[in-house]
Each structure stands twice: as structure tokens, then as C-alpha cells.
Structure 1
Amino acid sequence: MRSMTRVAAAVALTGIVALGGCAGGTGNPTGGASTPRYEVAPSGGTVTIEPTSGLDGSAEYETDVFSIEVPSGMTATKTDRGAAGMSVDLRADGAARASVIVNVTPQKGANDDAVNAASVVAAAQLGGSGLATDIVRSAATWEGFAYAVQMTFTLNLDANGTAQVLDGILVTTRNEARTYLVSISAEAPAGGLTSSVAYDALRTLRLKG
């Protein structure tokens, strides 16, 4: 359990420490998805994340673990954390904050429990930051992904003395081979997440193996 908690905390770095992408209410409730099986699994309805591809003007970015489309006007920057994994930020030219962050944490035997635990830790850290409201965790179905948990919330920030409200999403998942935990976050101005280029980019994520 200690190792699972450590990995969960690492995955939570995607949107919590950087606060780079995280809330807003995305996905459509469905009744057909499998019911989460674990104590820390999200309760309530299930949401569906619709995959997409072929964004206009985008360029594909690939690692050994995943691929994602980088929208026109954004740049991908990779941070290598050695044995702790890596993160990739997608940032609009000149922007102070990343719009999308992908975080990869190696985990032997990564399973649905580990995904749930990582999501719980992320929610607790985000809630404890005092910057977020309306935090909602939901089981998610996402074609091509073995298991996923979605967390949505609203960030209330101070940008150089000016109040800034952002909606965001953090999705935690794993690869089929159960060797990695992966989380991806996206953010956009309040009310515009699901129509944003950041959310479109999130939905282009594909895992390998």
C-alpha cells in the first residue's frame, strides 16, 4: 500500500503541483459502463470521453509510452524524471501556463486499484490547495483505454492581481501491460473546456502496450 500511495502522489503531480490542468464537467453520463470495483473508486454515474484525431494543423508527438497531437500554436516540452517517469507539457506560444500535461509514472503491476488510488490522492491534494472548487471524480470509459477515472474541477487563480477562473480535467489511467500509470490534464477559461483546443488535444492521447 505504501508503494501504491507513493506512485499515486507522483501521478498527482500532473495537475496538482504544477496546477497545470485540471474541472468543469465533461463527458456524458452513461449506464452501460462497468461498475467500479474498489473502495476508492469514484461513485455515481460514468462518463464517456470521446477520442478524436486529425486536429487541423497539429503535429504528432511520440514517446515510448504514448502519442498525442500537438495543436497548431502549441509546443511540446518533455521533462525526464528518470526512474520516476516523465511529463510532457503542451503550451501555447507565449502562455504562462501549460494547457495540457501528460504525466507517466512507471509502476510494475499497475492495475485499476492503482488508478483509483492515484485519482484519490490527486483530488485530496487539489482540494487541500485551496485553489479549486467543484471537484468531481467519475469512472470514465474511453475507447482504447483499459480503465480510467476522470476528475473535473474549477481553479480560482490570481494572475498578477487579476482573478482568473479556469475549468479543467484530470484523467488517470494505465496501459494494458500494467507497467505505467498515466494521467493527462487540460484546462481552459471557465465555461469553455469542452469546446477548447486543449480538450481536443487531450482526446488525441493514445497509449502503447
Structure 2
Amino acid sequence: MRTMTRVAATAALAGMVALGGCAGGDGSPTDGASTPRYGIAPSGGTVTIEPTSGLDGATTYETDVFSIEVPAGMTAKKTDIGAAGTEVDLRVDGAARASVIVIVTPQKGANDNAVDAASATAAAQLGGSGAVTDIVRHAAAWKGFPYVVETTFVLNLDADGKAQVLDGILVNTRDETKTYLVSVSAEAPAGKLTSSVAYDALRTLRLKG
């Protein structure tokens, strides 16, 4: 990608989580992921993310915080991204861009309010990139996750002079112990996100603790 380089995109995602996490607070409990009550609440309608597992030919990548299935033909790579924590990219072998990115940011007291803030910061930075349109934040329900905000968007790229349009999804959440903010993103050609291997891999994410 040339309009927004791969390095810039990764840095932006890392920055979104790091900056958003700084806005945490105690807040009040919610009734579930679909009913945010405070913070920078998403304005889109409630959606459901259906968990999946057992992808054909996949291997499992596991850390102390999460596990995710790595589809056949993809490789997982972990990178230290400083204050923003750690990043794990799932990339098709030989591809210039990652299909799935997981970012884990340590934060004491990472509550629902912090998830809202991380998501809102991410949406603002995506919108300011000049390459992202159609940004919509949704409250989301995802079995096994205490609180979730989903952001969908469209990436309008210029790769070596050729226009490329991708659909993207970014999911912000936290662990049960309120110790980590976690984000997972996926992208695929326009119109094919929900039927893509990248989206299937995203839905295999599980948090520990």
C-alpha cells in the first residue's frame, strides 16, 4: 500500500490501543457487551460476532493472554511495539500485508470505559489517515468476551499505481481480570470480509484468565 504504508498502518493500530487505553477509569458494570452505558459509546446498532474454531489445516498460536488459530498458508509473527504492548500478525506466506493483527496492551484497570476509549481513538485515527472511509462503530456481543466494540471500515489503497479496496474490521475488548486491552483486526477484498479466511481466523480468538 502506498497511500498508507504497511508500517504506518501497523503503527496506527498500535497507537490506537495505546492512546485509547490511557482514557480508562473505574466506570460501572454493564449488563453485557451489547449494552455500553458510559464512556465513548458506539453509535451503530448492536451486532453479534459468532465464535468459531477448528479451521481446516490451522495451527494454534498461543500466549499467556490469548490463543488464535493460524490458517493453513499463513504464518504468525510476534513483535514488541513498546508502550502499546505486543503485536501478532497473521500473514499469508509472501504477502506484503497482514490479514489479521492482534495487539495486547497491558493496562491496570482495563475496564469497559477503556475499551470504549480505545475504540473511539482507533476510529478517529483511521478516519484521519486519508485512506479509510465508511467507519462505523457497533456495540457487539461475542461469547466468551466481557465487553466488545466492533468497528468496520473500508480501506482505499494505491498499491504500485493500482487502486485496491479492502473491507476491514477492528474489534476492541479486554480480559476478564481487567489487566489487558486487546484488539484484533482483519481485512479482505471488498465484499468478501465475512466469507474470508481472515475473518474466520479473527473469530477463533480466545482470551485467558
- With the length of structure 2 as denominator, give the TM-score of the two structures: 0.84
**Aligned residue in 1 for 2:143:** 143
Distance 1:101 1:151 in 2: 14
**Aligned residue in 2 for 1:182:** 182
Report the alpha carbon displacement of residue 164 of structure 1 after superposing the two structures with TM: 0.4
Q: Which runs of 4+ in 1 moved over 3 A?
A: 14-17, 81-84
Distance 1:39 1:141 in 2: 17
**Aligned residue in 1 for 2:88:** 88
Residue 135 of structure 2 is aligned to residue 131 of structure 1: no
What code does the residue aligned with 2:98 have? Answer: A
Q: Deviations over 1:41-85 (max 9, x none)?
A: 112421000000000000000001000000000000000235542
Distance 2:44 2:129 in 1: 25
What code does the residue aligned with 1:165 have? Answer: V
What code does the residue aligned with 1:145 have? Answer: F
Residue 103 of structure 2 is aligned to residue 103 of structure 1: yes
Structure 2: which 5+ residue stretches go unaligned?
Answer: 1-9, 18-31
What code does the residue aligned with 1:94 have? Answer: G
SS at match of 1:13: helix
Distance 2:127 2:181 in 1: 22
SS at match of 2:67: strand
Distance 1:131 1:81 in 2: 23
SS at match of 1:94: coil
1:20-99 equivalence runs, <5 A = 34-81=34-81, 84-99=84-99
Distance 1:175 1:107 in 2: 10
C-alpha contact 2:33 2:147 (8 A) present in aligned 1 = no
Identity %: 80
Distance 1:119 1:52 in 2: 23
Distance 2:82 2:105 in 1: 10
Distance 1:176 1:152 in 2: 24
Structure 1: which 5+ residue stretches go unaligned?
Answer: 1-9, 18-31
Measured at CA, do residues 186 and 44 of structure 1 come closer, stay the same or move farther in structure 2, by a change above 3 Å?
A: closer
Distance 1:142 1:11 in 2: 26
1:183-202 equivalence runs, <5 A = 183-202=183-202
**Alignment length, in residue pairs?**
186
**Aligned residue in 1 for 2:205:** 205
When the two chains are superposed, the root-mean-square deviation of aligned CA atoms in Å is 2.1
